[in-house]
Structure 1
Amino acid sequence: MRGAAVACGLVLAAAAPCAGQTHLVIVSGLGGDPQYTEAFYQWGAALADAASKLGVPDTNIFFLAENPERDRRIAGAPTREEVARVLSRLEGKVQGQRSALWIVLIGHGSDRGEPRLSLPGPDLSARELGQMLERFSGARVAVINTASASGGFLPVLSRSGRVVVTATRSGFEQNQTLFPKFFSEAFSGTGADLDKDGRISLLEAFVYARESVRRYYEADQRLLTEHAMLDDDGDGAGTDQPSESEGDGVLAARMFLDAGVLPEAMVADAELAALLARKDSLEARIAELRSVRGAMAQGEYEKRLEELLVELALVDRAIRERGGRDR
């Protein structure tokens, strides 16, 4: 996969550049019980492994978990101070629309007083995390809180140009969530690749995890106790049914953990590689347009967005058609 990134630059020298780098911060919080400590570690480790295999440099993956000595991949303990330190280090590295920051929170949540994630020592509140993220106002940021009672993070963290995912729709859904298990799993295989373009978007991972949770509860004949939500239009409302074409879901559909690394099987096909590069370019332009929405007249914004979305849809169709013939 890392060789594919180099090939991308060679094949597409005259086309749009490959997407910028992704930085991934995984926080596996306080387990409180050995079985939860182990589960939180396993889900976080699975996501870190998947990101590495997708081409995210190991130096860009920050995995915080209990008992750091157990695994060399763990960068430190999951404390509020360590989260702040990691994000401070990334301030100069995550800039502009060609780079992205993914923050994935795993663990027990609470909505008492204010939404928070349980950590060793002081908990991390949604408000505190929001303050830490202010330094990344010009970058593409995704916060995925997979913890129980995580719904309260959504309205606090919602911003234009930012994706916020929560495993629950409110702080009242307090049972331990299964969303993090399936969210990590989404990046480890091909089951979540709904449009068959060889890449897993954040939106596709959300849908895969949401539907996997639903099927799990149905098979176990239990009432569903977690309802995942996604917000990326900055209105703070969110939805459990996001769409890649309008409203919540448009930005999430254009964010990829693989940071633009082309699948090796596609690199040899120059036409397909060019289409994927064109898709990256259009996605970046859509993100840039959405970031300046407040400074534009509504009619002009909608006109330009529609033009870009139509062109993107045509490119997506061409990718699926060519990919379908080649696979």
Structure 2
Amino acid sequence: MISRGALASAILLATAAVQPILGQDPYILVVTGIGGGQEYSERFREWGGALVTAASEKFALPAANIIYLGEDVDADPRIRNRSTRESIDQAFANLASSTQPGDHIFVVLIGHGTFNAGESRFNIPGPDLTAEDFGLYLNQLADRQVAFLNLASASGEFVSALSGEGRTIVTATKTGREGNETIFGGYFIEAFTGEAADLDKDGRVSVWEAFEFARIEVTREYETTNRIATEHAVLDDNGDGEGSTELAEAADGRLARTMFLAADPTMAAAHATNDPKLGALFEQKADVEQRLKELRDLSGLIPQDRYDNELEELLVELALTNRAIQARESEIN
């Protein structure tokens, strides 16, 4: 078993991290649908605007990586176009042409949903869009990592329709029949605009963290107001089309833990450098960091001896990679 002294030494080496250069960021498409009344229109616009502000100001996404479509283009200067079918068509075409395989793309729907004759729809100005319509859009983004977040009512059927490899699907409701007004969306967006959802305090919020934060807050609100819950959010990221409402021991959640509305600083550094050797070292570091995260997720689930041994190996590998990065930076600077 690893000694405390050896583990401490490995941790010190690993945490002497190289300061990465910021580079590429994820992409986000925010669509606020038709409100059907001033109260809802203002609420949806408030949620959409807050998320766009967090993306640009808190997580430093470039303006070119943010597409914001809304019901009223005059209500917020950041809204590019009205959220019609034609504008959404163009937005997905732009994402398909401007992103590369492996990029992380967030699609966020904020508004009302309906469920009729076994079909779920997202309500927008003009003809509504079905889950199948969005499936065709997502097919344009093959080889990208996609987080599709439908925060509307009656959204549950989107899970089975859109589930697939490389996709994290979140819906505010478990079925299409949960058609009442939902509060999940507000808390989900608050997870990104605030600080409380950053459970590991790494300065970023994953989709997994946002989902858990919002789920807990929704439960708390219904309980404190003595109401029966009429919404049950679902997350699916293993491609089985089933989804999970609680992630602690669920089959879902692994991919969602890797989806952040902020650039991975190590991969950003890899993309930003013009030196192939340094870029390869940053990619190697990112791989080790990802394996560390995956191992930590297994804490308590695998024998302690195995956990400690694998942790020591990874921390030493990370420390050696950091040293190699520092050495290469000294050579080229």
3-state secondary structure, aligned to 2:257: helix
After superposition, what is the alpha-carbon deviation per residue over 1:222-253, rounded to whole angstroms, capped at 9, x for unaligned?
A: 1111100000000000001125x872100000
**Which residue is 1:22 aligned to?**
26
C-alpha distance 279-228 of structure 1, shift in aligned 2 (>3 A): farther
C-alpha distance 175-21 of structure 1, shift in aligned 2 (>3 A): same
**Which residue is 2:196 aligned to?**
191
Is the Cα–Cα contact under 8 Å of residues 32 and 71 in structure 2 kept in the other structure? yes
After superposition, what is the alpha-carbon deviation per residue over 1:178-218, rounded to whole angstroms, capped at 9, x for unaligned?
A: 11111111111210011222221110001111111111111
The separation in 2 between residues aligned to 1:19 and 1:149, in whole angstroms, is 38
**Which residue is 1:232 aligned to?**
237
Superposition map of 1:127-206 within 5 A: 127-206=132-211
After superposition, what is the alpha-carbon deviation per residue over 1:64-107, rounded to whole angstroms, capped at 9, x for unaligned?
A: 1111012111111111111111110111222222x111000011
Pairwise CA distance, 1:63: 1.0
Superposition map of 1:1-327 within 5 A: 11-12=19-20, 20-53=24-57, 54-97=59-102, 99-113=103-117, 114-243=119-248, 247-261=251-265, 280-282=286-288
Is the Cα–Cα contact under 8 Å of residues 71 and 124 in structure 2 kept in the other structure? no
Is the Cα–Cα contact under 8 Å of residues 210 and 228 in structure 1 kept in the other structure? yes
Pairwise CA distance, 1:283: 7.2
**Which residue is 1:270 aligned to?**
none
3-state secondary structure, aligned to 1:64: strand
The separation in 1 between residues aligned to 2:203 and 2:232, in whole angstroms, is 27
Is the Cα–Cα contact under 8 Å of residues 244 and 250 in structure 2 kept in the other structure? no
Moved over 6 A (4+): 276-279, 283-286, 310-315
Pairwise CA distance, 1:154: 0.5
3-state secondary structure, aligned to 1:111: strand
Q: Name the amino acid aligned to 1:73.
A: R
Structure 1: where are the runs of 5+ without partners? 1-8, 263-275, 287-305, 319-327
After superposition, what is the alpha-carbon deviation per residue over 1:96-141, rounded to whole angstroms, capped at 9, x for unaligned?
A: 22x1110000111111131110111000111011101111110100
The separation in 1 between residues aligned to 2:158 and 2:210, in whole angstroms, is 19
After superposition, what is the alpha-carbon deviation per residue over 1:122-171, rounded to whole angstroms, capped at 9, x for unaligned?
A: 00111011101111110100100000000010000000110000000001
Q: Name the amino acid aligned to 2:230.
A: T
C-alpha distance 257-311 of structure 1, shift in aligned 2 (>3 A): farther
The separation in 2 between residues aligned to 1:126 and 1:240, in whole angstroms, is 20
C-alpha distance 197-169 of structure 1, shift in aligned 2 (>3 A): same
3-state secondary structure, aligned to 2:30: strand
Normalising by structure 2, report the TM-score. 0.74
Is the Cα–Cα contact under 8 Å of residues 20 and 265 in structure 2 kept in the other structure? no
The separation in 1 between residues aligned to 2:229 and 2:239, in whole angstroms, is 27
Q: Name the amino acid aligned to 2:200.
A: D
3-state secondary structure, aligned to 1:70: coil
C-alpha distance 112-250 of structure 1, shift in aligned 2 (>3 A): same
Is the Cα–Cα contact under 8 Å of residues 162 and 234 in structure 1 kept in the other structure? yes
The separation in 1 between residues aligned to 2:50 and 2:151, in whole angstroms, is 14
C-alpha distance 158-19 of structure 1, shift in aligned 2 (>3 A): farther
The separation in 2 between residues aligned to 1:76 and 1:258, in whole angstroms, is 24
3-state secondary structure, aligned to 1:136: coil
Normalising by structure 1, report the TM-score. 0.75
3-state secondary structure, aligned to 1:40: helix
The separation in 1 between residues aligned to 2:231 and 2:195, in whole angstroms, is 24
Q: Give percent identity, aligned residues only.
A: 42
Pairwise CA distance, 1:11: 3.2
Q: Name the amino acid aligned to 1:42.
A: E
Pairwise CA distance, 1:21: 2.4
